Structure 1
């Protein structure tokens, strides 16, 4: 009867009187005679035997049952961790049911080690997060303090607090103010994204008029759209109840999407802001769609859009500037409102970004009428002159300027950033040089061959063709191979200097550029050419 047990079973009083085959096999024995009638102590080390006699058996005598672990010894001397339960019968016999739990114990040890490592990792993560927050807070203070002076002084000068200024001075001050404001926006985006990722950004939810929210957001991009002759169209159903959102944060979301649409839409294109009510999974949402006729996005790149500091085009000839923070912040702010962001795009035709926000408005919208344009309110912007007056004044395309400087050296500036163009050319003009501008790498090659300038300032991060390739082609042409070239770049590693010189540049300046030093380098190279 007792042989029906599948678990190792041992029956003994002082010595084993019965054991089943499973128990025999567990301890590495082949024949029952090897254990029957022999002392059970042969199955354990002396210290385990003493523990049984001093702790286990007294407990078993009092309670009639004991369950625990022991270090057992096989016939060949190898050991294993034994899980066993002892039961004392009325006859005074002890029934032992046991099993090998070595693997289980190893797993428990490994689990404990993993938990200890996780605890340590969490501690380090908390410390790193705290240090990051402290760093961001300190840097925010350190950056905002001088920015406050820059923006404050710029505003005072613009309002002529310190006296009258001429048009050229006013344009320079405006450029300083715009650059300072842009830097402040980047700082705010970094801090907001950090807070949102750490779930520390608190929303101030208030009932917000939808039409006012949309039109105030559009107002932030009308000037940029005007400059590119872009048509802005708003389709906002009248009479919509207010939406409960953090007005400043959702305006920030809409402005980011609209600014991206303006940036990536060529001249004479169209940008639409369409508002609709929709239901998803029986839940009401208010949808804000920003639709453009821009360059579009390839399907393979869609999954990279919302990653912080990630841009689709990260090569040297990247055409569009930016940090890659905007869309990451858009997604986090919308998610904090328990909404979501969706995007559809066709390469070369345009994109549609839609944000879905929970909406409990009672009014219904005639969607068909809205889509047909019946409820649309159009805002159309007119075209601005394509020529930048400041740039025209200080480049050699102005015949008056050339007449004033007939013997001045001609410098070709290859640069696509408007602020850098205005800063460098105005400074060179003030130092008595003529200038000609190329906004792309290909233009730089063509102008170098047609105009044969005395010197070339070549930005490395250029659209269509990067500066390194442009330098190589200029050096390969017999017409332009002799022209001195200074590479201008924000890439400041030692290897970057070597790359520029290897491509054919005569010298190398890192950004931000010290203009006095740049002019000294220009004079040195020009004097070398004349000797």
Structure 2
């Protein structure tokens, strides 16, 4: 049994012959389709293609050689192996020339028939492998090699094959022939069976191995003077494509060569067509893929542009929302802050009432801090926090922040300052560094009992030749659990310690401080031995020693913008009376500020819009000060200043819930001398008036 079950189409008009042949083939495990005429053969081929056609030469109507030619003319069937059968002699050459691959007499031993059929089936299955890498075979010269120890036979063979247009090379030794096959390209080799040193079977085996290893599209014919079934079987097993007897009639050999070469060239041509089709299909696929990729890239680029535009719009909308949110949150705090600040210092009120107002003031200030923290966090996440670097004296900032922390009327831990360096100069943003020190101290106060203590030390260290200024804030308070130390500087990671006072907080101060410190190329860290063991926050900033003797540092108060938390009452206004135009659309803020200004002897005229401000400026002569909100129903503070200045010259102070640096700069660029961010402490307003 063969490993593969082949399908053979038998074209035979004799029922007796058909039954006999079908039985023989089926014994091999092959499937047989029997048709009795050429017409039925063509009809069957239109429906299915067999692995081999066994074709009788004598058929009713159309002879086998004509059937063979028509099969070879069809592109779908021309490569099918065809073995022609005949019951008469003298038709072999005609059958082979019509396109048959082999020609077998019906009287041939069945074993020989099966040997030839099996060999042809196996060879046809190897065509793809055999012709791999072959070049275009169209109109090419045919090169053959003959190996025979008889020089006379070789000369005669060369003469006969040259008539067919074949180019024949010869050699008389098997080893030399094998060597030549490895060095040059041949279409076929003709090998004599009986030779000294190496017989035809051995040469054929070497040729077959060479053909497989080098993928040579090579036909092999073994010649013999002793035709037998055993020799035929050994020849086919050795890899020969055909086994032909030697005789003086070269027509049979020529017919066999033509048949094998035709089959070889059919296979090569089919392969070439298939390769071209595959190449064109691959090129079409590549073009389609390239086009689809280009379209996809264009679509992705367009989508990316749309996404970027959407992100820009979303970012702008978010900025606008945060600005409006800060304005809306801060504006209502201004009248509250103004009133409670006034009342908390009113000596005519009972002490307990003043304490109530002081409590309200503390909570309003806390609310303002929370708003500022949220805005700072937004600036940090969007990388929009701006810094103004200049020489700063950290020792002075620490002293001022400690004083601010002590100004409250409530009990708090004792704060001790230890300064080991005299010239604590570095490059930084004084406002932001003040914010960091404030956050660290407030954090320590928040989690330390009233009877506890806070140690603030300032010293210098050197790392790899670079001097660093180190601030340490150590408290004796609640401490920090080890698992919380890793997250202590993350936003909204409020430590789960129980404060000794009911302070709120969003857990943003330390996150903001760390971001500010990193922008100064410094490092902020925290250590603690655990719960109730206190904690130490360590701030390390690089110093610029060369700046100390050359430049006078700027302190926090001098460098501070009006929108920074922790503003102090360092500016004491002189008590002069001014004629003031107050423009504010928020009723409570307008009324409270007007009332407080009038109590201090100022003449105050009020307006709620740009139009009213212009009308007041035209009506009231001798205006000296303009205090205007930036956001108004019919314009902004810049419009107010422009309209008023058309009528009379004034000194201008802007009030706004918009407190980003660009907002402050916009006010100053438009002509305002000061920009006070709401909620405005009245002492701040007095300081601005004094200037």
Which of the five TM-score ranges fits, normalised by the shorter chain? 0.3 to 0.5
TM-score of the pair, normalised by structure 1: 0.48
| Rg (Cα) greater in structure | 2
